[in-house]
Amino acid sequence: MKAIIYDNIRAVQWVDGRVRLLDQRLLPHEVRYLDLSTSAEVAAAITDMVVRGAPAIGITAAYGVVLAAAQRYGESAERWRQPLQEDMDTLLRARPTAVNLRWAVKRLSVIIDTLKIPPLEPLLAQAKRIHAQDIAANQRIGTLGASLLSRDSVLTHCNAGALATGGYGTALGVIRSAWAAGKINKVYADETRPWLQGSRLTAWELLQEGIPVTLICEGAAAALMRERRPGWVIVGADRVAANGDVANKIGTYSLAVIARAHGVRFMVAAPTSTVDMDMPSGDGIEIEQRQTDEVLTMQGKPIAAPGATAWNSVFDVTPASLVDALVTEQGIIHNPDTDKLKRLMNASS
């Protein structure tokens, strides 16, 4: 019997000279793709959450640089570098926390600095390489992460799947691989307020692949761990500091604390492109603050008492001391710290 491959979703694509994005704001009720032809449109799509998830943001930004280069070189074959740099700066400001954005733009910037030929072909080749490498890394992460599981139920938070990456996913890549290998017997997902990435995106993505999922309210994690004791919490990351601290969707930190209190293991699945060795600890990570309306309203309708204010921090930082396993495409680090991450990154460079 042919093995089932749980890998059918691509949220970011390069099609006919444009960036095609699955508009994640509309899921799960509508599947609509947007075709973007300028870097300004790409930057706006990143800011407006058409695309989200650190690896997917990085890949999208790389394609955005390609669009910018094509436009600027077309305007002036002699003076295209400075306006292109301005376009790249706009892309870099689109979402500050996800390190993959800066990492991807930097990879293309290195090529731009040495180009003596029209920029489109070599930049597109590099953007496609970043995309392909991310998918391959996610598949490797999935295999390695699944090796830690044994007929476990698992809990995941936000969406760290194919929708958040070039394809396959990080946390959901582990879940995909483990489900295919019969190493997971149940998947729980937090709803993930205020954008509901768990209920809208993770649930949709898993069900598209035929993987059943059970949603829980944000405040139900402790009761779930006490009553049903999942084997692992599995999450992705928007940035991993040099000491192993992890910036991820708000609510990740509280999950890690609750997991430790209940003896549930905590796994972070992330490619090495998400590791920022220039950031000594999570204390220095810039945490994005978004509009309070995202908390005070839902689908444009007020849900809070008139006059109430809100604090809308998008990410939080989970200390490395609460991470049992950091799974990358280069290997697994148990109980990550600075020395272990240095060895991993030196080996992968």
Q: Which residues are catalytic?
A: 238
Please state, in angstroms and rounded to a whole number, the distance separating the CA atoms of residues 192 and 216: 9
Please state, in angstroms and rounded to a whole number, the distance separating the CA atoms of residues 189 and 69: 40
How far is CA 158 from its chain centroid? 9
Please state, in angstroms and rounded to a whole number, the distance separating the CA atoms of residues 111 and 46: 23
Virtual CA dihedral for 64, 65, 71, 75, nearest 10 degrees?
160
243, 281 Cβ separation under 8 angstroms: yes
Q: Which residue has the tokens 């508009």?
A: 23
Please state, in angstroms and rounded to a whole number, the distance separating the CA atoms of residues 139 and 133: 10
72, 85 Cβ separation under 8 angstroms: no
Amino acid at 191: E
Please state, in angstroms and rounded to a whole number, the distance separating the CA atoms of residues 116 and 83: 17
Angle at 52 between CA 47 and CA 57, to 5 degrees: 80
Tally: H helices and E strands in the chain? 11, 16
Q: Which residue has the tokens 């391959």?
A: 136
Q: CB under 8 Å to 220, separation ≥6 — which residues?
A: none
Please state, in angstroms and rounded to a whole number, the distance separating the CA atoms of residues 327 and 266: 11
143: nearest Cα among 177, 175, 115: 177
Q: CB under 8 Å to 94, separation ≥6 — which residues?
A: 43, 44, 46, 47, 57, 61, 101
